[in-house]
Structure 1
């Protein structure tokens, strides 16, 4: 894991730091468990100087870089959301927006990743009144759009300054194979539009498309 520490001021500079981490091993059948396969962190979002990631179906992890020493790994209880009826699989994205932590679930009908059945957005409730944090479903993310990318990455972008309609989620429908379809999901109406980005169906894409977000 690499961390870039940026020094502010007139003589701005940065340093790259490399850290190793251990969050356990994957649970595999006995015939595949020797040697153990270390678990890796994926699907992260940065909020208030900390990195959040999904640890298990019941817990989330937080990496705190505030110390000059090695990052501090912490965990807290939060149950993962359930898929809608008739949908048994999906891909989850963590997104930070307006200093809030969101979870976007692209849900598949059955186990078919080419058949998107629903898309839902949730916001983490860190309220002290609750015994533990929990995901609460939302239909409004304000004047923003979420941009979902390959490798379970997500970003937030101001809608109006970018000439986009607010309260929408954008992602490429390329979970299984390269696809030129851009999906635009409206959280309020739950309507989904599909736009062809290009017409070169036989084009071999070396790298999955990625978003470039304008500076805020």
Structure 2
């Protein structure tokens, strides 16, 4: 990939509703308008994005390549020989995984319980619990978190599931009354949970950020995140990157809202929020963040979520 294909990151990729437009529209965070150029091979429907800045492309039904959207030579520099790649199907309770050197992807159908469907859907009043919001941290995958429990997936080498019960889950006013969107974010080897609380009309009215204390098994409310910026993509993932290095607002959370053609920036300290309209944004099915590529990675995950608690 040559220098002409470079894009300024972080940026927002909007999947276009217009059937005649086969490529997503890329938008600058700083300018709130479209970026000229694009990423070779990227279309509206052939890519999975990761919190670590990598993109998995497929051609037809075959996964084609793992792409560094900046410069291909850094791909070899960043990938660890122990790299594990996890692909999560969005609805079916199925995961695919592989490691560097594997000849093929391994398919695994999991069963981690059932949950009710209210209202029933297509004659069913329950379904298998799917893996939803997920983050890779300290050699494990954490998912389906709330203030009472967090699920854990390890590939050792086959999939092994366990859970962590959260101690004193209601202490300190951490209990959630009503609904919330939850995102897990790995940042500098720490696991965070961003909680967007919903009122009765499913409107977000409050944001809080919590760090997992693995020693005491507690979520601890935080009011700063080490000067970094978190990124949230609805129904997909949470991610972290340096604020200073990329001209972002420190200790802030960026959330994309493709349907509303905007993104929001909220301060971790007090949830003060600014809304940024995207100039001439197309009608979009979803918005995805394209993030800086991490210098060294050992775990990647792809997939998206539909989970609320």
Contact 2:143 2:151 survives alignment (8 Å): yes
Aligned counterparts of 2:279 and 2:109: Cα–Cα separation in 1 = 41
TM-score (norm 1): 0.79
Sort the Cα spacing of 1:173 and 1:90 in 2 relative to 1 into closer, same or farther, 3 A: farther
Matched residue, 2:175: 82
Aligned to 1:183: 264
Stretches of structure 2 that go unaligned for 5 or more consecutive residues are 1-94, 295-309
Contact 1:90-1:106 within 8 A present in 2 as well: yes
The SS at the match of 2:271 is coil
- Counterpart of 1:212? 290
- Aligned partner of residue 116 in structure 2, secondary structure: coil
Report the TM-score when normalising by structure 2: 0.57
- Does structure 2 conserve the Cα–Cα contact (< 8 Å) formed by 1:25 and 1:36? yes
- Find the counterpart in structure 1 of residue 234 from structure 2: 150
Tell me how large the CA RMSD over aligned residues is.
Answer: 2.6
Matched length = 194
Q: How far apart, CA to CA, are the structure 2 residues paired with 1:193 and 1:199?
A: 19
Q: Can you list the C-alpha shifts for 1:86-105, whole angstroms capped at 9, x where unaligned? A: x7322110111111110001
Larger RCO of the pair (alpha carbons < 8 Å, separation 6+): 2
Q: Which has the higher strand share?
A: 2
Q: Which blocks of at least 5 consecutive residues in structure 1 are unaligned? A: 8-12
When residues 183 and 34 of structure 1 are mapped into structure 2, their CA distance, relative to the original with a 3 A threshold, is: closer
What per-residue deviation string (whole Å, max 9, x for no partner) do you get for residues 104-124 of structure 1? Answer: 01122x2223x3211110001
8 Å contact 2:116–2:125 — kept in the other structure? Answer: no
2: CA distance, partners of 1:188 / 1:140: 6
2:191 matched to 1:101?
yes
Report the Cα offset of residue 139 of structure 1.
Answer: 0.5
Judged with a 3 Å threshold, the aligned counterparts in structure 2 of structure 1 residues 4 and 198 are, in CA distance, closer, same or farther, namely: farther
